[in-house]
Amino acid sequence: MILGPLGSAVPLIDAVGLDGVRKVVAEMAGRSSKEVRMVVSPYRICPLGAHIDHQGGVVSAMTVNKGILLGFIPSGDSQVLLRSGQFKGEVRFRVDEIQHPRHSALKNNKIITNGSSKSKEECDWGRYARGALYALQSRENYLSQTGIAYLLALENANNLTVSPMENIEYDRLIENGYLGLRNGILDQSAILLSSYGCLTFMNCKTKEHKLVRPKLLKNQEADMLKSFKILLALSGLKHALTNNPGYNNRVAECEEAARVLLHASGNDKLEPLLSNVEPEAYEAHKGKLEATLARRAEHYFSENMRVIKGLEAWASGNLEDFGKLITSSGLSSIKNYECGAEPLIQLYEILVRAPGVYGARFSGAGFRGCCIAFVDASRAVEAASFVRDEYYKLQPGLASQINPDNAVLICEAGHSARVL
């Protein structure tokens, strides 16, 4: 199979982008551009529910109209050739090769990767394609965005029918099983389940989900969805979560907090997840937690409440209240979950001050990447310019590494990932 993804942050269902990817893939394969199939995998955002999916919490999410375009042609053999429009290098592997996890163990909460003679470029981006194959092989689907984009391409090329819920589990296997990242199912759920105009709600403990639409008249709903834009502001930080022990450390701390609370409430036999701690038990025994664990638990329980209130605000079309909850969530990420490098915190604070912004927070788990904000559509361009200028004043080195056209993207709500 020949695959050729265009780089990140491209508009989805854009004729120029689609045609460009088709042309590149056709040239790689020596085939007609009419044979090229396309996967669109949008970026997801998590307005509320950050850092709690791995503990079985409730989360909210949606996608934006920017993301990954992946073009591919089934080749009729077992060879996979992959090139990127964003990263250097070329990835080659065979689908009849048995894939093994890239990590072998955790040592002092750092992921130990298996040795490899592959280039650093492949280690940086080709691993998600191999991870998709690993996930499918792990579920005995042996074959003649990201992981989601690769999964959909591999499944389509090999005539596999896989439900969104199954693909959520497969993508979890890529990140948990193959890459060794101890995250939950928020990202893949948002990408696969979202629908335009809806806030996706998921209970990560029960896996139940629903799409929450504004409970407005049809013309009012349309006006509400046109009244805001979503800013995606890049920090310039690029460290992968798998190379940063901070994320896995926070997961371990949440689990330790759950152990203390479950022991105090006489429920030692339950799995040490904060979702197994009843809110009443938390209130009764939170004084037994040492300071760090107390902050992690406070974030978990307060974030669950913000998600519930956020769903109500979204359903009523109240963007002001929705935005305030998002900003409070971002502050809890800093104060209670204690994530966010200095540039990300500065970017968050700039977004909160930007004209027309309803609310802002980290995106990308808070250890790298970007921040998002909901903003009044009529002030989106002004806000984006303000954020670019102010961030450059504070972080000229990082800001200068970002393409000015992509430093602050003005996005709209999007759809789910799919094969066109």
Catalytic (active-site) positions: 187
Report DSSP state, residue 177: I
**Is the separation of the CB atoms in 359 and 45 below 8 Å?**
no
Using CA atoms, how far apart are residues 33 and 25, in angstroms rounded to an integer? 7
Report DSSP state, residue 33: G
Angle ∠(233,320,415) on CA atoms, nearest 5: 55
Q: Which of 66, 232, 27 is nearest to 145 (CA)?
A: 66
The DSSP line for 285-306 is HGGGS-HHHHHHHHHHHHHHHH
Report DSSP state, residue 368: S
**Is the separation of the CB atoms in 299 and 336 below 8 Å?**
yes
- Cβ-defined contacts of 285-292 (< 8 Å, 24+): 285/260, 285/261, 286/261, 288/260, 288/261, 288/264, 289/257, 289/260, 289/261, 292/253
For residue 105, give Cα distances in angstroms to 164, 176, 178, 181, 415: 30, 12, 11, 11, 37
Q: Which of 173, 118, 93, 187 is nearest to 140 (CA)?
A: 173
Residue type at position 201: F
Neighbours of 392 (CB within 10 A): 16
Place of tokens 């800013």: 231
For residue 85, give Cα distances in angstroms to 7, 290, 409: 5, 48, 19
Using CA atoms, how far apart are residues 302 and 299, in angstroms rounded to an integer? 5
Non-local (6+) Cβ contacts of 118 within 8 A are 126
Using CA atoms, how far apart are residues 80 and 274, in angstroms rounded to an integer? 41
Neighbours of 225 (CB within 10 A): 17
Residue type at position 234: L
Q: Which of 286, 292, 291 is nearest to 253 (CA)?
A: 292
